[in-house]
Chains A and B, each alone.
Chain A
Amino acid sequence: MTPGYFPGNILFLVIFLAANAFFFYSVYKLYRIMLLGKPEDRFGQYGERIKSVLAFVFGQKRVLREPSGIGHFLIFWGFMVITIGSIETFGVGIYHNFSYEPIIGKFLYNILYLVQDIFCAAVLVALAVALYRRFVIKPLRLESDDPKATKLDALIIIGLIAVLIILLFGSRATDAQLYAKGEGKYFPPLAIISQILALAFSGASVNTLKFWNTFFWWAHTIVILAFLVYIPYSKHLHLLAAIPNVFFRRLGPVGELSKMDLEDEEAESFGIAKIEDFTWKQLLDLYACTECGRCAENCPATLTEKPLNPKYVIHHMKEHLKKKGELLLAGGGNGSGEGDTVNQGQEEGAQETKSELDRALIGDVVPKETLWSCTTCGNCMENCPVFIEHVHKFVDMRRYLVLTESDFPAEVATVFRNWETNSNPWGIGFAQRGDWAKDLPVKTLAEDSNVEYLLYVGCAGSFDDRGQKVARAVVKLLNEAGVSFAILGQEEKCCGETARRIGNEYLFQMMAADLVETINGYGVKKIIVTCPHGYNCLKNEYPQFGGEWKVYHHTEVLDKLVKEGMLTPTKYVNRNIVFHDSCYLGRYNSVYEQPRNVIKAIPGTVLSEMDRHRHKSFCCGAGGGRMWMEETLGKKKINDERTEQALRCNPDIIGVACPFCTTMFEDGLKAKDLEESIKVYDIAELLAMSVEFKK
């Protein structure tokens, strides 16, 4: 059965075509399962999409954010280079004398083989490191709650690739030795590693060499085809799904949740209750997951041992989708009647059928506590190399629980009512909303709408003692800089951001419609927001409701005013300030520099950074409505964990830019009896300390 001779080549072709047929059938099935999902428009902007693929697939930009990514980079490019070689190998299977050499010339052929040799060796090293990480170091992100599916899977894949490369080297070493002995086709002398390995066969007879050469070729080829067949059934499916997933990624703001259609008065269900309720892109996300665990490694819930690990959630949804999807395609769903065709002789199989179709997405596949544990901080999405959107799925499922089932943590009911009656989470009378500014030189739009900016103060700035201090500092600074602005005062309403993230889209849409009407009624063009949550919501989500404004966070405005010399920090603040990035300011809106610029502009300050800062910043624990829920699960409170991270910088001051973060840090410091020695200040308060006010 020498490769490339009859009948070996016929046998090869049969196996090759069978493996490919099986592979494409499997992929087609997965494709059809994906199309069970609902429509979603992810088309257009193709230039941008191609750029994404170049940067994040071929450039491995997000993979390379951490050292272990180098291993992946080598395996990825090794795979590309080896695949070029595999095509040559398959060619040999059909015709024994097939070679790239006559096509590309001796020189390039030598280079190609050298590069392939080097990558093969590099991949072997990377695989050894991968094994070492999985079975010796065992980092958090590679942990699994389904070891049979993931650990075994990883072992099979790493094993297959390793065997594949060892066999390739065997094949090449014998090729080289045969050529040296005047047999067979040209073998490039520059393939150093193959040439060195060939020395091991120098004593072998031509017949022995031919035997081994044939053995290595067949074994190598069969392993490649086995790998091909295995891909769609393993987490290595990401090989196929990652590229389209990066291509179809969200190009608009990641912090924008989808607008639900709530007009349908006959609808019995709102939000995502079943796996097939997700959109095709959300399902493609599941296929694309390689279970690298970068999400888990950065998730505040996972790291404080809450019942949420984003990687596990995606894994279990993927397994559920594949099983349920196959059954749905076979006609097993929704009383179509076709489900009755299940063979009665296969009772066991029939029972399995029943159970996967009956497993509830929320409750069985994804526990409710898991959904409520999410702070929507977006760290999972920010660090996912293939752009999976975890948070949007969590909120979609929360929407089902809240809107359809009225099933949410008991304490949230009060907060919903507070929003409904008084448009703020504390439930303080709405008529008192403007009271904080009564003694300040600040106008309302009702008094004078001919101003450049609306200062949207938000609930914390209006009602919370601590938030009011920040709002006052902002007003003082804006007045000092001569900025033309006004507030809404009693007319201001809550933006509804938190209600939306808890899943109460109905309440949110009512609040949004209300606020848009008020703001547009004054012809407002530019808005300054003092809360990153309101900022993200007004900037990225209100366009869904006709709110088309230029929206700024106060740190952006203050940075600009300092740069332009409208505000000059002169008084020394000789303090070590550690700055904490708010999720909705940093990760969701890339406002990283502006608050830091303000701190640096204040004379005497030392700016410290925590290990987890900027895009890896660790949530304070209050996002996604967690501010209003009891934190009873897990080993530690998220704010305590973050406070400890800040304390490692030995700060005098923790600098923040969000009222939620302020509260969470102050609580964290109080829990450690440190509230006297370490203070939490908003960027506006810090700047106000340093500016000599003249007005």
Chain B
Amino acid sequence: MNIAVLIKQVPDTETVIKIADDGKSIKTDDIKWIMNPYDEYAVEAALRLKEKTRGKVTIISTGPQRVVESIRTALAMGADEGVLVDDPALEGSDVFGVAKALAAVVKELNPDVILCGHRAVDYDEGQRGAAVAEMLGLPHIPFAVAIDVDDGATKVKVDRPVEGGKMSLEASLPVLITLGGAHAIWNPRYASLPGIMKAKKKPLATKTLSDLGIDSSEVGPDARKIRIISMEMPPEREPGKIINGDLDTEGKAKELVRVLKEEVKIL
């Protein structure tokens, strides 16, 4: 069974995000880039399917050369090949532009199952999987927390949560599934050292838009259907107020009541 995993490189969740001077983007210096955690679950899910069906896993991503590191991470975990679409014309694309490039790679590979995170933790748009599925005319199953494939590898069974309950879905191949759940559900594997060594030698192709037959006018900032107008940081939290520690318990209680009534005005 051929499995394709779409991954995105995002800023580490602990990075202190700063808005750039244009007010519409973020500053990228001092950012540590990681694989989008939901995409990491997708890699894990793909490797489990591979182990069951003795299939092949291809990692697909877009972006500059720094993204190679994330693809290698997935290869070290056990994926077989990687494809990176690295083309300056893609920079500044919205999700439709990126999806076009991803869909073109997927189309060439013709996989049975396509997996990716249901959202990326950077812009939280949650459209990539759906857009690629739409462009390729594939069924799209969102928020998977469990994926199984039948013995003949003809259809998948997917569990997804619904309002705390569970729904089981089935679809024939090919299909695109986006991954939900959490770290504790998927427990993505930690690459072994032989895995890391092998990953250095696994095939990783870099492609441009023209390789994929995409005209650069179809992507990039000018082709955006959605434009970012502005960004705003969350308001800084005001420091807490500490009631005078020299007072006795009764005094503290009185002071607290006074503050709640007069200053905070919630009593």
Contact = CB atoms under 8 A, between A and B. Distances in A.
Whether both chains belong to one complex is answered with: yes
Nearest to B18: A431
A428 B32 CA distance: 11
A427 B14 contact: yes
B254 interface: no
A403 B190 CA distance: 9
A432 B195 CA distance: 32
Interface string A389-431: 0000000000000011110101001101100011000011111
B173 interface: no
Nearest to B197: A265
Interface string B12-29: 101110000000000000
A422 B12 contact: yes
A506 interface: yes
Given A429-B12, A429-B16, A431-B30, A267 B192 contact: no
A421 B193 contact: no
A650 interface: no
Nearest to A265: B197
A270 B196 CA distance: 12
Contacts of B30: 431
Interface string B195-216: 1110011000000000000000
A421 B12 contact: yes
Contact of B15 (A270, A410, A431): A431
B266 to A, nearest CB: 29
A269 interface: yes
B191 interface: yes
Nearest to A262: B193
A268 interface: yes
- Give the size category of A's interface with B: 20 to 34
B188 to A, nearest CB: 8
Contacts of B196: 506
A404 B193 contact: yes
Contacts of B195: 406
Contact of B197 (A267, A406, A431): A267
B115 to A, nearest CB: 21
Interface string B170-187: 000000000000010001
Residues of B contacting A: mostly: loop
B189 interface: yes
Contacts of A428: 14
B34 interface: yes
Nearest to B193: A403
Given A430-B32, A506-B196, A406 B16 contact: no
Contact of A421 (B14, B190, B197): B14
Contacts of B194: 267-270, 403-404
Contacts of A267: 194, 197
Contacts of A405: 192
Nearest to B11: A429
Nearest to B184: A410
A406 B190 contact: yes
B32 A413 contact: no
A431 B29 CA distance: 10
Interface in B110-126: none
A159 to B, nearest CB: 51
B15 A429 contact: yes
12 contacts: A265-B197, A266-B197, A267-B194, A408-B190, A413-B187, A416-B190, A417-B190, A421-B12, A428-B14, A429-B16, A430-B32, A431-B16
